[in-house]
Structure 1
Amino acid sequence: MAHHRVILIAGAGPVGLAAAVELTRRGLPVRIIDAGEGPTPPEQSRALGTLPTTLAILAASGVSARLLAEGARITGADVARDGHRLFSIEVSAARTPTPFILSLPQGRTERIMVEWLAAHGVGVEWNLALEDIVDTHKPRAILANGETVAARAVVGCDGVHSRVREAVGIPWRGEGYPGVFSLADVRFSAPIDPTRAKVNIRSGIGGSALLPFGPHAGRYIGLGGDPEALYNGVSGIEAVTWTSRFSVAFRRAERMAKGRVFLAGDAAHVHSPVGGRGMNLGIWDAATLAFLLAEGRETEYETKRLPVVDEVLKVTRQMTDMVSRPGGPMLWLLPFAMPLVTRVPTVARRIAERALALDLPQPEWLAADYGMNRDAG
């Protein structure tokens, strides 16, 4: 049995890697394992959008500087119905040093953090799964190679089918969602505007969006099981590099901690991709836990994170209902209301900050960059 008393992180996606980065920069020894062979393949964009709070969190380590150097900055969205422009949403009014969504494929985000960890003496142990956990208060993790690790804490960042969550007997609660989403990553022959997302509400069949991640590449995402339907009739597409179909659910773990075993990211909560909250919410979990562990306050983790998770699930469900039911009265009012309300500076700022999830409680250790509620989150 290893007796290093390290913090063991199971799962080396963006959330687990962020946990390792934050714990390492705070001087806490970590070990990070993953059942997979390596980071997300470069051709699969997966989680694209990094929000301002995430950039603020990762700034202290220097990771944000590298993300900013490579990503595209989406400063607004143009909303149309059946191809006819309705209105635009701008996020430049938000009170943050980074008033945009940073668009960068997940595989590149992961590799930047893997490289940072390697430079700080932490290597990801790929092809190594966690099999079981014994004693949640003095956790001993049993690994697939037969090793037993006596850890100060175990952090489950191992996704929706989390072995950590199952091993300690924490149940899911919530429900599935009707319908199927699809996405398609495409490459354009001519440049597109990498600063603008394009949203199209199609009468009777829901909405779709184009999220750029550079001047020649973007992701189409929307309701329906046929990715090809998302880009049919669009000129200038020279290649489709990746497609996917998936169902969504709105669920969370009944608890996010049991003894000294903690859950973060998809291991603790899942919801639809509408609003781009998923990866970011998980990174906020991880960073909050790292801060609390460094302060000896980890027993506060659940009370700080569960209210934020519940709020994100509620708001994301509302947004998903809106785009999946395009005939509702709200959609018909928006073209008239939005141009009027966005002329009021305080309203425009609130819209921008909600779009960037800055209306949620900000982590207590961050500098007062936002001038908003900074309850622990």
Structure 2
Amino acid sequence: MTPQDGPVVIAGAGPVGLTLAVELHRRGLPFRIVDRGKGPTPPEESRALAILPTTLAVLKSSGVADRLLADGHPIRQMEMRFGPGRSVRLPLSDAPTDTPFILSLPQGRTERHLLALLEERGVAIEWGVAVEDVSQTHRPKVRLSSGDMIDAHALAGCDGVRSTVREALGIPWSGEGYPGDFSLADVTLDPRPDPSTGIVDLGTDGGARALLPFGDGRARLIGMVTNPDDLVAHLEGVTDVGWTSRFHVAFRHAERMARGMVFLAGDAAHVHSPVGGRGMNLGIWDAAWLAFLLSEGRASEYEMRRLPSVRAILDQTRAMTDFVSGPPGWARTLLRYGLPLALHLPPVRRGLAARILALDLPKPEWLDR
């Protein structure tokens, strides 16, 4: 750990900002964390559900991973459906990781586990306080809405897609919107779905739909339709509909993720579609990398370390989104008849499982120490 000449100011107390706070505290670095909102994500809004193995590995040393594992539901296989009576199951157990599954847990509960650990460590979140401006990026001077002026060691913009920090720096926001709408609905089903199995249905008109269980008979239903009611209408056994949302997606990223000692992480640095469940995880990896590099006195490496992975995931997610939004007939036929045969080959199973769990990306160097 290297000495620093002021606190790290964290703008935003979502999963990314909270992870950065947890990791900075674990590494003994002083910080302040502020958020313009009144509190964490409401528990009834599930938002980001998927927690991937690398995220669990990142959060293991702090003890957060154990809390998440005790509360979440592991999805251990994916079932792909190609129409009535035709499906194939891909086990994730062949993936090269100690946690070969997607941990399904609503974002509000993930945030509360991070908050609980910080509270136990005596860390207070400054709710209702926003970063209003930043100057002198190599020794950031941060102005808060509370009137405070902070001579910071660093500033981390974890403040979402409309990031004040990014806008204050004038960093271009590159990319484009995506045609069409996504809708999601959190539903309760009877009979209860298998909690260990996620379902991707490629046999529906109008694009793929996915069902991800998250315990007690509840599941997330998501698809490229304009109205969440249309999703629910095509699913049998729905006994209750909870939180619903309709949203547009875009594929954009900041052209820079750092300027001097000011850094961008999470949605402030990159956004993409929910296909593949990468979004929150990618932001948490940003935060963990930043905490590590700050503690090592190597913060100048942050952009170099993160931007290639960000671009790779945006490219992957765009390709997956294009495919599931309207897979061509030949591709459906190839998957329907070729995938069951290919899955008899262990290398194919391992490779697909690793791709689904995002294990094809470089592993953070400190996880091997």
TM-score, normalised on structure 1?
Answer: 0.95
Residue 188 of structure 1: aligned partner: 189
Instruction: Indicate if the aligned counterparts of 2:82 and 2:332 stay in contact, CA closer than 8 A.
Output: no
Letter in 1 for 2:260: G
Shift in Å at residue 79 of structure 1?
Answer: 1.2
Cα distance per residue 1:161-200 (max 9 Å; x no partner): 0001001111111111100000001122443211101111
Residue 227 of structure 1: aligned partner: 228
Cα distance per residue 1:73-109 (max 9 Å; x no partner): 0011111134443322221100111000000000000
Structure 2 unaligned blocks of 5 or more? none
Residue 145 of structure 1: aligned partner: 146
Q: 1:66 to 1:142 in 2, by over 3 A?
A: same
Residue 160 of structure 1: aligned partner: 161
Q: 1:5 to 1:205 in 2, by over 3 A?
A: same
After TM superposition, list the pairs within 5 Å mapping 1:279-290 onto structure 2.
279-290=280-291
Residue 80 of structure 1: aligned partner: 81
Residue 61 of structure 2: aligned partner: 60
CA distance in 2, matches of 1:250, 1:234: 29
Residue 342 of structure 2: aligned partner: 341
Count of equivalent residues: 366
Q: Confirm or deny that 1:25 pairs with 2:26.
A: yes
CA distance in 2, matches of 1:74, 1:284: 21
CA distance in 2, matches of 1:168, 1:99: 40
Shift in Å at residue 238 of structure 1?
Answer: 1.9
Residue 11 of structure 2: aligned partner: 10
Structure 1 unaligned blocks of 5 or more? 369-377
Letter in 1 for 2:199: K
CA distance in 2, matches of 1:345, 1:202: 26
TM-score, normalised on structure 2?
Answer: 0.97
Percentage identity across paired residues of the two chains: 57
Shift in Å at residue 288 of structure 1?
Answer: 0.4
Could you say what secondary structure the match of 2:211 adopts?
strand
CA distance in 2, matches of 1:204, 1:197: 20
Shift in Å at residue 215 of structure 1?
Answer: 3.3
Q: 1:203 to 1:185 in 2, by over 3 A?
A: closer
Letter in 2 for 1:34: D
Cα distance per residue 1:38-88 (max 9 Å; x no partner): 010010000000000000000000000000000000011111134443322
Instruction: Indicate if the aligned counterparts of 2:82 and 2:336 stay in contact, CA closer than 8 A.
Output: no
Residue 214 of structure 1: aligned partner: 215
Residue 259 of structure 2: aligned partner: 258
Instruction: Indicate if the aligned counterparts of 1:322 and 1:328 stay in contact, CA closer than 8 A.
Output: no
CA distance in 1, matches of 2:20, 2:91: 31
Shift in Å at residue 296 of structure 1?
Answer: 0.3
Could you say what secondary structure the match of 2:183 adopts?
strand
Shift in Å at residue 310 of structure 1?
Answer: 0.5
CA RMSD of aligned residues (A): 1.4
Residue 332 of structure 2: aligned partner: 331
Cα distance per residue 1:274-311 (max 9 Å; x no partner): 00000000000000010000000000001110110010
Q: 1:83 to 1:110 in 2, by over 3 A?
A: farther
CA distance in 2, matches of 1:81, 1:343: 18
